[in-house]
Structure 1
Amino acid sequence: MKYSSLIFMSILLLFPCLSFAQCSMCKAVAETANGGGFGAGLNYGILYLMIFPYLIIAGISYKLYRSKKLSK
């Protein structure tokens, strides 16, 4: 049961389409400025900044998993 929920959450994090949701007004203003190029850059910047917390959590989780596996 634990592994299936872990796998489900891992797969869910791989789909970035949900990550594109921001404040609707911020997105609308950013898309109208400079022909929409600024809005796309803003979206990718937010995604770039959100990668690092997930990588840190994944690294800590892997270390905990590996230490539990080696202690058996």
Structure 2
Amino acid sequence: MILVIGLALFPSQLEAQCAMCRAVLESEESGTAAEGINNGIVYLMAIPYVLVAGVFYFVYRKMRS
């Protein structure tokens, strides 16, 4: 849980790219497209973890009550 929160708070330090995307984007000189693609991938990756954490929190609160 702490890891998920930490990853959600510091997404700019993550680099989640497939090998093909990395090879194509590293050949680009400006690097702005690579940064945008990387941010999009990290954003899409974080959403399921946040949703699962929310469900577990909801179940935990219901079980505790």
Whether these two folds match at TM > 0.5 is yes
RMSD: 1.9
Show structure 1 runs of 5+ residues with no match: 1-9
Q: 2:19 is matched with which residue?
A: 24
Asked if 2 retains the 8 angstrom alpha-carbon contact of 1:31 and 1:38, the reply is no
Larger Cα-atom Rg: 1
Q: Which has the higher contact order (CA 8 A, sep 6+)?
A: 2
1:11 aligns with 2:6: no
Q: Which runs of 4+ in 1 moved over 4 A?
A: none
- In proportion to residue count, which structure has more helix? 1
Show structure 2 runs of 5+ residues with no match: none
Query: What TM-score, normalized to structure 2?
Result: 0.71
> Alignment identity in percent?
43
